């Protein structure tokens, strides 16, 4: 019997946000083994195992669609790009990574390419458009404007005098056959997908047609929905202070759009049901002990503005804000400018919530907020892989995939695949020691970070003295604490200070000692607006905190797995450290509740041992080797010194 050949026909699908039609081929990607293993023969003499893994993955076929899990710092994206360069296959890299050009530089160095590599970056208009650059030089205040639309020109970008040299239009001018790598951020990708303009459509067409390979780097960022917040009331022990609009009223005569936006927002706040919701949230604040256990969200549907009107309102406001800055009608407060954009996002959303959160450092302060989930962003990030994947390798990479059970559902992928056995090809985690604290710091009470600041500084000084000849990184739980510590130390002391989720990356890559003051905590109710109950909210909070903390701790790890490193986790105890360092396939944060509050456990439901990422060493595992259980900070430091001298 003759074998039947599968024939693909184009399918018409509609963008769920913009209603723009796309014609695509829905492929049936080849299933890849659950753990990528290197081939028996290396393709290059002395080639390291990561290059072999990339080669092996590409050999699975030209049409695969997988999430790929590996320990942070294992270079997944770099080695995949290097393999694509070896095959002369263009790559689209979608990334939120601040070090994206380090990824590409490493890829070029690891590849066999001797010719120059042509990298085309899809920049936001604010950074790429030559006309906007001239405006920024002339009107520096425009740097404070979050979104600057492209100038209106007859015949669009092609009618501009800068078309042939402009970075924004480079992707449109360059010969597709000469492109090796296309780079775009997640935020710029969303902006392109939402923009119906001809130039945006043309760029989307290029980035979906040119590459043979698409890499979604740090793909865990796709899982957490972006939440827009506007604080409408602040309550302290004395009184409640409500948001005022006086600072915007002076603009009403000059901008009808801003007046319309503020008026619509005021209409929302003046609704009886919204006023009642605000009162209920403020009333809940009286029970401080049980505050964190409650789910603080009251939801409303927003159907007063038609979708087409919402889009026009946004585009009009973006343009008018630029005009107001140029005419010097907006001069001062950057915060007020950002609030305007957040208010616009709220009134454009289909659903909004009244929520509340407490300030970490000032627990007596309550912020009542109107919030909205940035649904268009989330929908576009789910939709784009559908229109790009036909005939391509589409690979989602991360060292901290939060809930891998989502990927087959959201992106029509197979189950996640491990980047080599244990997701750690060079066994780098075996060189990493995490030293949990014997004391847990909290945000309130006698064990708060604030009340124990002197002890924290004293412990930092002891660690620095013990490692006086080595560079030391300090990561604080927030910017405020980092600034306070910066007053005590300087780079001349070989001490580099940063904070979780910082954009700065002050800690050098060759630093092998990290003092982590707390975890990457957020307000406990951060995810209330995006969840249905307190258990979902707490689970998302834990997942986000674990991912941000783990990625930061890995900054001091030697990516080649040769040098040892140590993390002193001040105020972070054994159980929390273990959860933070547990990653792999089907990782689940299980949240429960007992008489004392919430409980959580992290498990990876796996069928094979090599489907869980290799764990680092923990101080308590080496008690016998290092002379007994650590009873105080001096014992912990002694363990760290012994580890670094092994």
Q: Which residues pair with 23 in a beta bridge?
A: 12
For 448-471, write each residue's pLDDT tens digit: 787 888 899 999 999 999 999 899
Residues 362 and 311 in one domain: yes
Residue 593 lies in a domain: no
Residues 538 and 506 in one domain: yes
Cβ atoms of 585 and 415 within 8 Å: the answer is yes
DSSP state of 152: P
Q: What is the dihedral of CA 484, 489, 492, 494, to 10 degrees?
A: -110
448 or 116, greater pLDDT: 116
Question: What percent of the chain has pLDDT above 70?
Answer: 91
pLDDT at 156 over 90: no
Q: Give me the pLDDT at residue 2, please.
A: 45
565 vs 72, 98, 429, CA distance in Å? 14, 23, 9
Among 467, 630, 434, 439, CA closest to 550: 434
Q: Give me the pLDDT at residue 524, please.
A: 82
Q: Which of 364, 392, 423 is the last residue of a domain?
A: 423
d(CA 546, CA 224): 13
Residue 244 lies in a domain: yes
d(CA 277, CA 271): 10
Residues 150 and 32 in one domain: no
d(CA 233, CA 275): 11
Residues 556 and 454 in one domain: yes
pLDDT at 379 over 50: yes
d(CA 442, CA 439): 10
Residues 233 and 366 in one domain: yes
Contacts of 369 (CB under 8 A, 6+ apart): 229, 230, 231, 232, 354, 355, 356, 357
d(CA 233, CA 371): 13
Q: How many domains does the chain have?
A: 4
Q: Which of 423, 444, 460 is the last residue of a domain?
A: 423
> Where does residue 637 fall: left (phi above 0), alpha (psi -120 to 50 degrees), or beta otherwise?
alpha
SS3 of residue 166 by DSSP: coil
d(CA 502, CA 475): 10
pLDDT at 137 over 90: yes
Residue 13 lies in a domain: no
CATH of the domain at 484: 3.40.50
d(CA 48, CA 46): 6
For 572-606, write each residue's pLDDT tens digit: 999 999 999 999 988 989 988 887 778 888 888 77
d(CA 494, CA 273): 57
Residue 150 lies in a domain: yes
First to last CA, the chain: 66
Residues 475 and 511 in one domain: yes
Q: Give me the pLDDT at residue 407, please.
A: 74
Q: Give me the pLDDT at residue 26, please.
A: 64
Residues 154 and 46 in one domain: no
Phi, psi of 221 (to 5 degrees): -65, -20
Residue 2 lies in a domain: no
Residue 594 lies in a domain: no
Which of 146-150, 386-390, 606-610 is predicted least confidently? 606-610
Among 352, 366, 334, 358, CA closest to 241: 366
Cβ atoms of 550 and 572 within 8 Å: the answer is no
Q: Which residues pair with 227 in a beta bridge?
A: 373
Residues 389 and 467 in one domain: no
Residues 187 and 274 in one domain: no
d(CA 427, CA 440): 30
Q: Which domain holds residue 250?
A: 227-373
CATH of the domain at 391: 3.40.50.300
Q: How far is CA 580 from the centre of its chain?
A: 17
Residue 603 lies in a domain: no
Residue 605 lies in a domain: no
Residues 419 and 432 in one domain: no
Cβ atoms of 424 and 76 within 8 Å: the answer is no
Sign of CA dihedral 252, 254, 257, 258: negative
Average pLDDT for 491-506: 82
Cβ atoms of 189 and 94 within 8 Å: the answer is yes
Q: Give me the pLDDT at residue 561, please.
A: 92
d(CA 68, CA 373): 27
Sheet containing 64-69: give its strands across: 119-122, 181-185, 91-95, 213-216, 393-398, 64-69, 417-418
DSSP state of 172: H
When the pLDDT of each residue in the chain is averaged and rounded to a whole number, the result is: 86
């Amino acid at each position: 019997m003759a074998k039947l050949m599968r024939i693909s026909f184009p399918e018409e699908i509609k963008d769920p946000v913009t209603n723009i039609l796309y014609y695509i081929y829905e492929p049936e990607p080849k299933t890849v083994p659950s753990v990528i293993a290197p081939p028996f023969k290396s393709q290059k003499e002395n080639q390291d195992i990561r290059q072999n893994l990339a080669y092996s993955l590409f050999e699975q076929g030209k049409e695969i669609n997988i999430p790929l899990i590996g320990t942070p710092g294992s270079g997944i994206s770099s080695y995949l790009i290097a393999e694509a360069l070896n095959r002369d296959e263009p790559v689209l890299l979608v990334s939120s990574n601040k070090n994206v050009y380090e990824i590409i530089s490493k890829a070029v160095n690891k590849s066999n390419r001797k010719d120059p590599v042509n990298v085309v970056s899809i920049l936001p208009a604010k950074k790429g458009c030559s006309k906007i650059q001239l405006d920024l030089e002339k009107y520096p205040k425009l740097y404070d404007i979050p979104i600057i639309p492209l100038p209106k020109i007859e015949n669009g970008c092609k009618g501009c005098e800068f078309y042939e040299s402009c970075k924004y239009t480079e992707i449109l001018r360059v010969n597709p056959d000469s492109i090796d790598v296309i780079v775009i951020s997640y935020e710029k990708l969303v902006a392109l997908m939402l923009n119906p303009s001809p130039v945006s459509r043309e760029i989307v067409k290029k980035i979906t047609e040119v590459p043979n390979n698409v890499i979604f780097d740090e793909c865990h960022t796709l899982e957490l929905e972006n939440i827009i917040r506007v604080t409408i009331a602040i309550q302290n022990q004395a009184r409640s202070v409500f948001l005022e609009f006086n600072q915007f009223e002076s603009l009403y005569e000059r901008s009808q759009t801003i007046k319309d936006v503020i008026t619509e927002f005021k209409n929302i706040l003046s609704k009886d049901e919204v006023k009642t919701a605000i009162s209920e949230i403020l009333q809940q604040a009286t029970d401080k002990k049980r505050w964190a256990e409650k789910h603080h969200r009251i939801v409303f549907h927003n159907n007063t503005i038609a979708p087409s009107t919402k889009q026009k309102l946004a585009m009009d406001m973006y343009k008018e804000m630029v005009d107001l800055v140029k005419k010097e009608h907006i001069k001062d407060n950057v915060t007020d400018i950002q609030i305007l954009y957040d208010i616009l996002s709220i009134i454009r959303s289909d659903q909004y919530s009244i929520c509340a959160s407490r300030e970490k450092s000032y627990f007596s302060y309550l912020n009542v907020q109107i919030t909205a989930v940035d649904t268009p962003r989330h929908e576009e990030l789910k939709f784009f892989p559908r229109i790009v994947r036909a005939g391509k390798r589409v690979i989602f990479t991360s060292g901290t995939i939060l809930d891998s059970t989502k990927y087959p559902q959201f992106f029509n992928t197979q189950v996640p695949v491990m980047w080599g056995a244990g997701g750690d090809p060079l066994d780098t985690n075996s060189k990493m020691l995490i030293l949990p604290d014997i004391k847990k710091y909290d945000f309130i009470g006698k064990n708060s970070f604030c009340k124990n600041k002197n002890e924290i500084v004293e412990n930092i000084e002891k660690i620095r003295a013990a490692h006086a000849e080595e560079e030391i990184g300090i990561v604080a739980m927030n910017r405020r604490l980092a600034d306070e510590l910066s007053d005590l130390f300087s780079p001349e002391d070989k001490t580099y200070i940063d904070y979780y989720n910082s954009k700065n990356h002050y800690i050098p890559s060759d630093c092998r000692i990290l003092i982590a003051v707390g975890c990457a905590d957020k307000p406990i109710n951060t995810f209330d607006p995006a969840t249905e109950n307190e258990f979902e909210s707490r689970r998302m909070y834990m997942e986000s905190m674990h991912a941000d903390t783990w990625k930061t701790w890995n900054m001091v790890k030697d990516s080649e797995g040769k040098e040892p490193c140590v993390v002193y986790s001040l105020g972070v105890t054994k159980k929390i450290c273990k959860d933070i360092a547990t990653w792999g396939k089907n990782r689940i944060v299980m949240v429960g509740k007992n008489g004392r509050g919430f409980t959580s456990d992290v498990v990876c439901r796996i069928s094979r041992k090599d489907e869980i990422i290799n764990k680092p060493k923990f101080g308590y595992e080496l008690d016998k080797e290092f002379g007994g259980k650590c009873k105080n900070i001096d014992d912990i430091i002694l363990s760290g010194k012994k580890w670094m001298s092994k």
